[in-house]
Chains A and B, each alone.
Chain A
């Protein structure tokens, strides 16, 4: 049978991946209401209320001011830092009418066009992107 890895070791490895926030329990706990807010946008009536007054809609949720501001700013890297998960955040950018490519590119510091061109050319190479410590 497989050896059981210590949970601390298992989680520590995730911090060694460049440009990546793995959705761990710590992030899930921090982002609980942020993600549940995003989830609420699956209902058309909620999307209407959200579009009419984003700030008022956010104020119905027990989220931190930082989280609310990051949602208003559509700052997805910041939202991941504050416990957001991309599949939940997808409800926000889908409501904005953005595709995954359009929304995801905003996290990379590239324009949508450059990002799309990178994908069409085979995507981002894993070279040097696997480990911060190992730099491979």
Chain B
């Protein structure tokens, strides 16, 4: 039986991809950011922790999806996903290998469970998906895990509610549990934390709110699933809404979680970096 063994939350700031690709991770500005991932890189390399597959929850930043089609929840079912050119050429990282058997199993199960997913058979992935892989695995020849991209619309309003995201996570956990093969599966929730990339209020950071949100991810609280969109926008900046994606990860970990690792740093580019490693407890 497949099972979800851990959840990872991480910001997916494009500048981190640039820093890693250009060998700048050791520079003074980036050092404290990357250092916060050292624990995780070591932990995830242990055979007992290394996942066979990751359900990677992220948002596409006008890369694979333009304004023609706006799926609220989309699951990548392809054999592999190319790296997209976001305007300055594709990142020099390996293609992402999918897990079509598990992805289709999850997609079918979710639809029967009343989550009306969009299935994607051809897609390129952007920094939202590749930066977290870089932060956790560095720069390998090939990514050491299979990845099921789960793209969430957090660009065009309204995005899904926090409650809906949490419930989707619960349904993903049920779907993984009913997969026949014995697999170690992790779920990653990416994006955030506080940041605003637009308008005169750009640059907003709310470390106090972010840290309360990090607190809420641990233990048996489900308070975070009830946070309304307007609170993310007011308190954490317009792009802070990405944190609803962390709730899919949190929902998939069940009633109670244990925090194995926590990292928070301001700034990275325009953004507050947050990172957690959680286990179901």
Binary contact track A98-115/B, C-beta < 8 Å → 1, others 0: 011100110111000001
The distance from the CB of B18 to the nearest CB of chain A, in whole angstroms, is: 8
Q: A85 at the A/B interface (Cβ < 8 Å)? A: yes
Whether A99 pairs with B200 at a CB distance below 8 angstroms is no
Chain B residues within 8 Å of chain A by Cβ, number: 48
CA gap between A73 and B70 in the complex, in Å? 29
Q: B67 at the A/B interface (Cβ < 8 Å)? A: yes
The distance from the CB of A99 to the nearest CB of chain B, in whole angstroms, is: 7
Instruction: Contacts A17-B201, A36-B66 given; indicate if A123 touches B88 (C-beta within 8 A).
Output: no
Interface size class of A (residues with CB under 8 A): 35 or more
The distance from the CB of B179 to the nearest CB of chain A, in whole angstroms, is: 28
Main secondary structure of the interface of B (DSSP, over half): loop
Q: B118 at the A/B interface (Cβ < 8 Å)? A: no
Q: Collect the chain A residues with CB atoms within 8 Å of residue B87's CB.
A: 41-42, 47, 90-91, 94-95
Give the residue of B157, B267, B269 whose beta carbon is less than 8 angstroms from that of A25. B157
CA gap between A20 and B161 in the complex, in Å? 20
Q: Collect the chain B residues with CB atoms within 8 Å of residue A32's CB.
A: 67
Q: Collect the chain A residues with CB atoms within 8 Å of residue B194's CB.
A: 123
Whether A36 pairs with B270 at a CB distance below 8 angstroms is no
CA gap between A36 and B62 in the complex, in Å? 10
CA gap between A40 and B155 in the complex, in Å? 18
Whether B235 pairs with A39 at a CB distance below 8 angstroms is no
CA gap between A36 and B65 in the complex, in Å? 11
Q: Which 3 A-B pairs have the closest CB atoms?
A: A123-B205, A94-B87, A19-B201
Give 17 A-B contacts (CB < 8 Å), ordered by A residue: A11-B157, A14-B230, A19-B200, A21-B199, A23-B155, A23-B157, A35-B66, A42-B63, A77-B200, A85-B155, A87-B61, A88-B66, A91-B87, A122-B207, A123-B272, A126-B235, A130-B235
